Amino acid sequence: MLKHYLSVADLSHDEAIALLERAAILKEEWHIGVDQTSHLRGQTLALVFEKPSLRTRVAFEAGMTQFGGHANYLSANDIDMGGRESVADVARNLSRWVQCIAARVFRHQTVTELARHATIPVINALSDIEHPCQALADMLTLHEHYSDLHECRLAYVGDGNNVCNSLMLLGATLGMTVIVACPPDYRPHPDMLAQAEHLANEYEGTIAVTSVPEEAVEGADAVYTDVWASMGQEHEAARRRPVFEPYQVNAHLLSRANPEALVMHCLPAHRGEEITADVIDGPQSVVFEQAENRLHVQKALIVQLLEAGHL
């Protein structure tokens, strides 16, 4: 039974499928105007954010409103976890007032410590190791275009960062083929890669890493990239740029993929760096479908956690 969602690896294969199916239903209901306000009426979600956000924050806040609940946004200035107040005390206090916590943090240890001391569900809304809500939205987007994800080949090109880690883990859990292309010094976290390979063996998927972007993209059904310097790494941007330039997703690289391959990006994007404007704004791009699907998977996730016996 799912108690917290700190890592994609918290989900079994069946739980991941059920969550995506529920998100798809909620999305269909939302588009046809079904009233969903009875789902979480009177419930509150605390958004504990050490980092700024557009998609994550708005999707959680809008989702809680659509479900008849409320989201309470708490920035680093409001709490200062580990400074003015310990992470453990923040968790204990919030557990007395709200029904769920979504935390967007710099260090993954912060979200695991919140979960350790909270008596309510904790969701990892982004950490330095994973971005598990983004991965759910990505897989919902892929499933809307490819009915059998087991047959889907996803190429990720760029930095082996938190988004990459979560994509590998969820892709492996769903039995997909995920090929990562990144510079040798920017490979995915070794523990995440090993965990993804283990899951791929269990669910008959494939995980591979190469330093050659053309190898990853060859025959791909979807080509995914992310910024070369993530939030908190801005001081490394100038040093990273020449290393990552061969990994830009442009029309030439995309031509190696299947003709109808999807173009994916978790946003925000730096057009002209990790991806060219003609590709991200072109007809194969589904980046705003991914962004919308953050709303639906996060709604499904909150309901799933609260129904697991935490209310």
Catalytic residues: 104, 131, 134, 226, 266, 294
* Edge-to-edge strand list for the sheet holding 177-181: 206-210, 177-181, 153-157, 222-225, 262-265
What span, in angstroms and rounded, lies between the C-alpha atoms of 141 and 279? 18
CA angle, 163 then 222 then 214, to 5°: 90
Report the C-alpha gap between 33 and 29 in whole angstroms: 6
Task: Please state, in angstroms and rounded to a whole number, the distance separating the CA atoms of residues 154 and 137.
Answer: 14
Residue 153 and residue 264: Cα distance in Å, rounded?
Answer: 13
Instruction: With CA atoms as reference, report the closest residue to 225 among 158, 280, 294.
Output: 158
Find, among 140, 304, 288, 138, the residue nearest to 224 by Cα: 138
Q: Which tokens sit at 276? A: 């060219």
Determine the Cα–Cα distance for residues 72 and 79; give it in Å rounded to an integer: 12
Phi, psi of 263 (to 5 degrees): -110, 125
Query: Using an 8 Å Cβ cutoff, are 49 and 57 in contact?
Result: yes
The 3-state DSSP class for residue 5 equals: strand
